[in-house]
């Protein structure tokens, strides 16, 4: 048993990151058995689930979308806000009943939540029927843990700074778009954020390994890849031979996958060279997610964000000027400890200047062990909710406005599947990451096609395929 420790998780030692080969654990032990997986949180977690699926399928399990049919249930969890935590414990309640009816059911909890010692304590005390608890550094051990959990409860959560595993097997959900990890962990320690604790220190993968993976995806016919990291702009700063994200992006672009994207960027590390690469490489998509968090320089300082309101606006202006047609989205937190109405007005002011294509907005959620959770916070929750409401009204009106600008234009859309809203339509994304429901034949799935936008809604566009249109 290895239990998490938040103090160990905070350590950023000088020890070298170990680059290790992933060993796949293959067994026929669970042939004929079914697994059900539920994923919470960010793209990083979604991609981790693709690794988890490869691990359990290597043991003989096949997938089911009906939890009650499963012999193994895996919850891959997120710790970023309290509500994510509440949802998982709510779900565990359902599993408790299921386990009573079906005692041989295996229940596994992994991902970011078990990296917090309080969560593992709660599982041990209130949910002792959970068979397997694994952390973000332990996915490569999951195969062995599942086999051994038949005999005893398995808990493996390392709070180490982290290693890098190569040759990881993924069962990718899509044959059209793929995630590619370029780095793990985060060293930024924004004062509100749990991620540097749950995911360890920043570890970049070697460029040669990333390029090999991208070449392999190209040969499999992938149309789009997204380079993944908590803070992609800091890529390479921790490598022995330092290399910049701009260089990596340029090299990835040369491999020639039609669309290349990346998430997430931190404004502090965003260089002019990066802007230049995005502007010049045709297959690097003109879409940037650039978290603001707050528009108040005073709050940004308390958040440890390392930029001011005016520096953010300056970077934003450069991106808009230099990258033709770029769409920019953001993340904003309201109600950070001590945020005044004046601070909040600064946030609204930045939203007004930037006219974002979209924004994810959150009320500050104190996370145990982070500096902000200990800061004095006397803003009543009603005031925070009211600020969130005002912010959302503004954000939605700009994203609606941006969507309206597409009506009557022909844009290229990578078609990804049958539309959820209408089985007679297909859906896909524009270069700028707008969701479009399209009237087009099903054989357009997997292709980039020209689409005339006919209608704009708040969160999506409608369109029809245009034959023979030059775009
Ligand atoms: N409370 C509220 N929102 C948070 N985020 C990160 N930590 C917290 C927190 N403690 C938001 C940030 C981040 C996004 C992924 O989640 O806006 O960019
Ligand atoms: Fe992703 Fe952070 Fe949530 Fe972990 S805590 S799943 S890194 S958003």
Q: Name 427's Cβ contacts closer than 8 Å, sequence gap at least 6.
A: 415, 416, 417, 418, 419, 420, 435, 436, 437, 438
CB of 85 sitting under 6 A from ligand 1: no
* Ligand 2 center to 432 CA (angstroms): 24
CB atoms within 10 A of CB 146: 26
Spell out the per-residue pLDDT of the chain, length 471, in tens: 888 887 788 877 777 788 999 988 889 999 999 999 999 999 999 999 999 999 999 999 999 999 999 999 999 999 999 998 889 999 999 999 999 999 999 999 999 999 999 999 999 999 999 999 999 999 999 999 999 998 788 998 988 878 899 999 999 999 999 999 999 999 999 999 999 999 999 999 999 999 999 999 999 999 999 999 999 999 999 998 999 999 999 999 999 999 999 999 999 989 999 999 999 999 999 999 999 999 999 999 999 999 999 999 999 999 999 999 999 999 999 999 999 999 999 999 999 999 999 999 999 999 999 999 999 999 999 999 999 999 999 999 999 999 999 999 999 999 999 998 899 999 999 999 999 999 999 999 999 999 999 999 988 999 999 975 555
pLDDT of res. 10 = 81
Distance in Å from the first CA to the final CA of the chain: 58
* Ligand 1 center to 63 CA (angstroms): 32
Pocket test for ligand 2, best of 40, 80, 184 (most atoms within 8 A of CB): 80
* Ligand 2 center to 285 CA (angstroms): 24
* Ligand 2 center to 82 CA (angstroms): 12
CB of 42 sitting under 6 A from ligand 2: yes
pLDDT of res. 469 = 52
Give the whole-angstrom CA distance, residue 338 versus residue 222: 47
CB of 283 closer than 8 Å to CB of 255: no
CB of 286 sitting under 6 A from ligand 1: no
Give the whole-angstrom CA distance, residue 435 versus residue 415: 10
Pocket test for ligand 2, best of 9, 40, 42 (most atoms within 8 A of CB): 42
Instruction: Kindly report the protein residue whose alpha carbon is nearest to atom 3 of ligand 2.
Output: 78
pLDDT of res. 23 = 86
Is the peptide bond preceding residue 264 cis, with omega within 30 degrees of 0?
Answer: yes
CB of 78 sitting under 6 A from ligand 2: yes
* Ligand 2 center to 117 CA (angstroms): 16
Spatial CA neighbour of 351 closest among 405, 304, 303, 387: 387
CB of 45 sitting under 6 A from ligand 2: yes
The gap from C-alpha 351 to its chain's centroid, in whole angstroms, comes to 23
CB of 367 sitting under 6 A from ligand 1: yes
* Ligand 2 center to 45 CA (angstroms): 7
- Among the bound ligands, the one closest to the CA of 264: 1
CB atoms within 10 A of CB 8: 12
> In the chain, what are the helix, strand and coil shares in percent, each to the nearest 5?
35, 20, 40
* Ligand 2 center to 174 CA (angstroms): 21
């Amino acid at each position: 048993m290895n239990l998490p420790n938040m103090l160990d998780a905070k350590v950023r030692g000088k020890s070298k990151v170990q680059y290790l080969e992933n060993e796949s654990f293959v067994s026929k032990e669970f042939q004929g058995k079914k697994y059900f997986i539920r994923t919470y949180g960010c793209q990083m977690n979604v991609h981790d689930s693709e690794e988890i699926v490869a691990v359990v399928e290597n043991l003989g399990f096949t997938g089911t979308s009906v939890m009650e049919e499963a012999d193994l249930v895996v919850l891959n969890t997120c710790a970023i806000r309290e509500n994510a935590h509440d949802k998982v414990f709510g779900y565990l309640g359902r599993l408790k009943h299921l386990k009573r009816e079906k005692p041989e059911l295996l229940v596994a909890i992994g991902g970011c939540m078990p990296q917090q010692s309080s969560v593992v304590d709660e599982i041990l005390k209130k949910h002792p029927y959970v068979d397997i608890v694994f952390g973000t550094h332990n996915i490569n051990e999951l195969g062995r843990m599942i086999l051994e959990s038949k005999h005893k409860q398995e808990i493996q959560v390392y709070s180490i700074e982290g290693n890098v595993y190569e040759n990881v097997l993924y069962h990718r959900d899509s044959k059209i778009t793929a995630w590619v990890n370029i780095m793990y962990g985060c060293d930024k320690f924004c004062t509100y954020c749990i991620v540097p604790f749950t995911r360890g220190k920043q570890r970049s993968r070697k460029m040669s390994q990333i390029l090999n993976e991208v070449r392999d995806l190209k040969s499999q016919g992938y149309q789009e890849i997204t380079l993944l990291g908590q803070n992609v702009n800091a890529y390479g700063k921790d490598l022995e031979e330092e290399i910049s994200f701009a260089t990596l992006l340029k090299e990835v672009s040369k491999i020639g996958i039609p669309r290349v994207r990346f998430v997430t960027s931190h404004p502090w590390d965003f260089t002019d060279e990066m802007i230049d690469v995005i502007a010049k490489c045709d297959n690097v998509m003109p879409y940037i997610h650039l978290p603001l968090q707050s528009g108040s320089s005073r709050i940004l300082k308390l958040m440890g964000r390392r930029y001011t309101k005016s520096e953010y606006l300056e970077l934003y202006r450069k991106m808009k000027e230099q990258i033709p047609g770029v769409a920019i989205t953001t993340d904003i937190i309201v109600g950070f400890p001590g945020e005044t109405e004046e601070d909040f007005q600064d946030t609204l002011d930045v939203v007004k200047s930037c006219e974002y294509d979209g924004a994810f907005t959150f009320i500050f959620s104190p996370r145990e062990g982070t500096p902000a959770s200990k800061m004095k916070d006397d803003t009543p929750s009603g005031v925070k909710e009211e600020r969130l409401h005002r912010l959302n009204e503004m954000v939605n009106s700009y994203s609606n406005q941006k969507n309206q600008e597409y009506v009557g234009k022909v844009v290229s859309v990578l078609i990804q599947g049958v539309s959820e809203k209408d089985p007679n339509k297909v859906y896909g994304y524009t270069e700028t990451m707008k969701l479009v429901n399209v009237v087009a034949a099903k054989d357009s799935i997997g292709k980039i096609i020209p689409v005339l936008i006919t209608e704009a809604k708040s969160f999506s566009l409608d369109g029809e395929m245009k034959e023979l249109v030059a775009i």
